[in-house]
Amino acid sequence: MATEREYERLRALVARTDPLLIEAIEDVDRTLLEWGLSLSPWQRLRASADALRFWSSFRRGAPEAS
């Protein structure tokens, strides 16, 4: 596992080469990552399918499926 010093060195390197990547990293919602990792693979698949169904309903203009 990386030490704090290694982390800071890598972060500085990335900041010099791609500052937008640092902004994107800071904008990640870690609670969503933790939630996703707490699910089983089947639960993740179902959540993805439910999200796809929900977002697709906007494209079609259909009412939300339950």
* pLDDT at residue number 63: 59
Structure tokens that stand for 52 in this block = 């796809």
* pLDDT at residue number 18: 92
CB atoms under 10 Å from CB of 65, counted, come to: 9
pTM above 0.85, yes or no: no
- Whether 2 and 10 have beta carbons less than 8 Å apart is answered as yes
The low-confidence residues of the chain, meaning pLDDT below 50, are none
* pLDDT at residue number 62: 54
> Which helix H or strand E contains 53, and what residues bound it?
helix 41-60
State the Cα–Cα distance between residues 11 and 24, nearest whole angstrom.
Answer: 13
SS3 61: coil
